[in-house]
């Protein structure tokens, strides 16, 4: 365990099972449909890769970079699209893959932008859900695990761009981010 991690919430085996189960459900729900899977970078990259390998369908992929955090530990509430998807989405079924739904502000805005552009449907698959902090009216369609109101890192999730490469999900020690 990394020295800055207080405890492990999900180990590698538990994460692998989450991805397998989500992939099976997504496969079932989108059978016979065209699906564009949109990863929200950077946090979702590890989860995104594992989930799509568990989707037994022909899919298309794209990515967005969206930020509302900067280098802090809490959302600023201001959502910026730093990198947009590169394909026309009119009439397409989209699945947004995100690392965590916290306040929901980012995903609420992204989903509405994509619907305004003419997507046939926009659903959300998130590795983690933190409903205790929700301020926007949004619920993910596919949820890997619910987490308590603690600062989590690893498996793609970061604090100030660190800890993304940890192979597990852990709780960051308070003294690291409360400086």
In a domain, 69, yes or no: yes
pLDDT at 74 over 90: no
Arithmetic mean of pLDDT, 72-76: 50
Arithmetic mean of pLDDT, 82-88: 94
pLDDT score recorded for residue 32: 95
Give first-to-last CA distance, the chain, whole Å.
22
In 3D space, the residue among 34, 40, 88 whose CA is nearest the CA of residue 67 turns out to be 40
50, 99, 102, 158: the active-site residue:
102
Which structure tokens are listed for 56?
């037994």
Note whether 41 and 83 are within 8 A (CB): yes
In a domain, 160, yes or no: yes
Domain limits at 159?
Answer: 5-26+33-172
In a domain, 144, yes or no: yes
pLDDT tens-digit readout, 30-57: 999 999 999 999 999 999 999 999 999 9
In a domain, 21, yes or no: yes
pLDDT score recorded for residue 79: 75
Q: Considering its fold, how many domains does the chain have in total?
A: 1
Return d(Cα 63, Cα 143) in angstroms, integer. Answer: 19
Note whether 5 and 172 are within 8 A (CB): yes
Q: Percent of the chain at pLDDT above 70?
A: 94
In a domain, 178, yes or no: no
In a domain, 179, yes or no: no
Position 89 confidence tier, pLDDT thresholds 50, 70, 90: very high
Its pTM surpasses 0.85: yes
pLDDT at 76 over 90: no
Active site residue 102: yes
In a domain, 177, yes or no: no
Return d(Cα 141, Cα 96) in angstroms, integer. Answer: 10
The CATH number for 78's domain is: 3.40.50.2020
Extract long-range pairs of 25-31: CB within 8 Å, 24+ residues apart: 25/142, 26/51, 26/55, 26/57, 26/95, 26/125, 26/142, 27/54, 27/55, 27/56, 27/57, 30/55, 30/57, 30/93, 30/95, 31/57
pLDDT score recorded for residue 69: 55
pLDDT score recorded for residue 67: 78
């Amino acid at each position: 365990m990394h020295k800055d991690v207080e405890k492990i919430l999900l180990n590698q085996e538990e994460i692998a099972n989450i991805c397998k189960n989500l992939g099976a459900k997504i496969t079932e729900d989108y059978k016979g449909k065209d699906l564009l899977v949109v990863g929200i970078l950077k946090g979702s990259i590890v989860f995104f890769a594992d989930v799509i390998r568990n989707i037994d369908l022909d899919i298309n992929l794209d990515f967005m970079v969206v930020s509302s955090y900067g280098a802090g530990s809490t959302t600023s509430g201001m959502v910026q699209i730093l990198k947009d998807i590169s394909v026309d989405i009119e009439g397409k079924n989209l699945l947004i893959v995100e690392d965590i739904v916290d306040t929901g502000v980012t995903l609420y805005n992204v989903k509405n932008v994509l619907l305004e552009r003419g997507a046939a449907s926009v659903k959300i698959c998130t590795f983690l859900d933190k409903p205790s902090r929700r301020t926007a009216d949004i619920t993910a369609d596919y949820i890997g695990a619910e987490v308590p109101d603690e600062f989590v890192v690893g498996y793609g999730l970061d604090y100030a761009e660190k800890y993304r490469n940890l192979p597990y999900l852990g709780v960051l020690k308070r003294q690291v981010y409360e400086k």
